[in-house]
Amino acid sequence: MKDIDYLIRGGIVVNSNAERKADVAIKGEKIVAITEPDIVKDAKNIIEANGCYILPGAIDTHTHFEEPFQGCVPTEDWAAGTRAASIGGTTFVFNFVIQSEGLTLEEDIANHMKRASDLSYIDFNFHGVFTDFKDLDKTLGEIKKIVDGGVSSFKEFMIYTDEGLAVDDWTLMKVMEEITKCGGILGVHAENCSIGENLAVEFANKGKIDAKYWPMVKPSFVEVEAVNRAFMIADYNKSNLYIVHTSTEGAVDLIGKYKYGNNFFLETCPHYLTFTKDRYLEDDAKYQIISPPLREKKDLEKLWEGLADGRVSFVGSDHNAYGKDSKDPGYEESGFVGVANGQPGVFEILTLMFNEGVRKGRLSMPRMVEVTSTNAAKIFGIFPQKGIIAPGSDADIVIFDPNKKETLGSKWYEEADTSFYENMEVTGFPIMTFVRGEVVAKDGKVVKKKPEGKFVPATLTPEMYRGIS
């Protein structure tokens, strides 16, 4: 078959339901065949997988490229961020667009669309965040146009008053109701605003501003109470809802209570699956200030349990790459109060989920694929174009070597100079990443010369939502 562009042979193809020895044929942007080994003999390019895993590219459901926050602008633009993503085996991102003052969210998404189309090395969509609620009906009236334009997911914050992000419960209810009516889904940053923000003031007033206090500023119940409230509201009006960056045992327990009959999902992040609050006692603790904070061992283990049994459905990085130069002066002056929340992470998803999940016996390979790719594609409406290795799907493919040893850290990013994972040793690493049939990264380097990532419109359907866990 000389018209096959790439034949990846001798690998183990892993999808969310099974893994098997098979060869994968790619023509143009698409996968055209998955065959028993050695059936297809010819192709323009033959890649020997040598027993490595062949995975659908990871879908990062949570990135903040080019998003100013708490007085800081990330060091990395779309190009640098998505280059790092591609080396790490992430082939798609959902990036946040937080409505800027003076623009409608639709206008702001159009601006981000232009930036991403010019600079992204991987495919993308967005989660819209409304910030202007002066006229609630007018804001609600915008939702349909945005969904019809292919952006079907949104996020709202229950905290961050000073940043102009926190919404009240009524607004939250009306927004999730309308988003669902229009065929979308709302993600919620669930933290109790009054308690979380006042505890921060109380700690600061007592001079307790060292990073070691950060987990005490936002104790677990600050998240769990808000998650419960969001679930209760969404249960009342049968809204589609997911909780972003879930960090607590309590949230995992709660979803069991509400999941039946509802489209409710939990997202968690690799850092909550890797570290505990002890990370705030280390030398570089000031760089690890994120919201919610890192938690206890029991939370970490419960998140893994939830990922394995379906209560936690997918993983996003919460990538937010602020530089030391922006964090150091703020921390010097006012401790955790002065540091923009966020850390890079778009690069590490696959290797961490393999090392902390599969290698430690917490996840099977198919479930790893499900929570890093397939479920996100279904929940956010881009399945089966993305999220699966199947004939007709986009050839977003990662060849993953389970035996390759590497050291993680900020060196994998072009601009970011901090990392949760500095000097962490891993075994299992992506060695080649395809986006729509083209090799973007190989052996730890970007090989694609120019950014040709595309916006992929999302459409949520009841069929996709059936049976997601």
Residues that bind ligand URP (CB under 6 A): 64, 69, 189, 245, 290-291, 318, 320, 341-342
Chain Cα centroid distance, residue 173: 24
Between 400 and 421, name the residue whose CB sits nearer to ligand URP.
421
Closest approach of ligand URP to the CB of residue 363, in Å: 24
287 binds, among Zn ion, ligand URP, none (CB under 5 to 8 A by kind): none
Closest approach of Zn ion to the CB of residue 423, in Å: 25
277 binds, among ligand URP, Zn ion, none (CB under 5 to 8 A by kind): none
Residue with structure tokens 């570089």? 284
Burial 144-183 (b: 16+ CB within 10 A, else e): eebbebbbbbbbbbbbbeeeebbbeeebbbbbbbbbbebb
Closest approach of Zn ion to the CB of residue 344, in Å: 12
| Peptide linkage before 215 cis (omega within 30 of 0) | no
Binding test (CB under 5 A) with Zn ion, winner from 156, 318, 356, 396: 318
Residue pair 382/316 in contact (Cβ under 8 Å)? The answer is no
CA distance 177 to 80: 37
Between 7 and 352, name the residue whose CB sits nearer to ligand URP.
352
Q: Which stretch binds Zn ion (CB under 5 A): 11-19, 105-113, 311-319, 345-353?
A: 311-319
Between 318 and 356, name the residue whose CB sits nearer to Zn ion.
318
For residue 195, what are its two tokens? 């308690």
442 binds, among Zn ion, ligand URP, none (CB under 5 to 8 A by kind): none
Between 95 and 393, name the residue whose CB sits nearer to ligand URP.
95
Closest approach of ligand URP to the CB of residue 343, in Å: 8
CA distance 171 to 188: 12
Residue nearest ligand URP (C-beta atom): 341
Q: Is 189 in the site for Zn ion (CB under 5 A)?
A: yes
Cα-based distances in Å from 368 to 63, 147, 307, 320, 372: 20, 29, 9, 23, 6
Closest approach of Zn ion to the CB of residue 245, in Å: 6
Between 189 and 448, name the residue whose CB sits nearer to Zn ion.
189
Closest approach of ligand URP to the CB of residue 290, in Å: 4
Q: Is 9 in the site for Zn ion (CB under 5 A)?
A: no
Closest approach of ligand URP to the CB of residue 12, in Å: 35
Torsion-angle region of 179 (φ positive above 0: left; ψ -120 to 50: alpha; else: beta): alpha
Start-end of H helices in 297-392: 297-309, 324-334, 349-352, 365-369, 375-379
Cα end-to-end distance, the chain, whole Å: 38
- Strand ranges (DSSP E) for 36-165? 45-48, 53-56, 58-63, 90-98, 123-129, 153-157
Interacting residues toward Zn ion by CB under 5 A: 189, 318
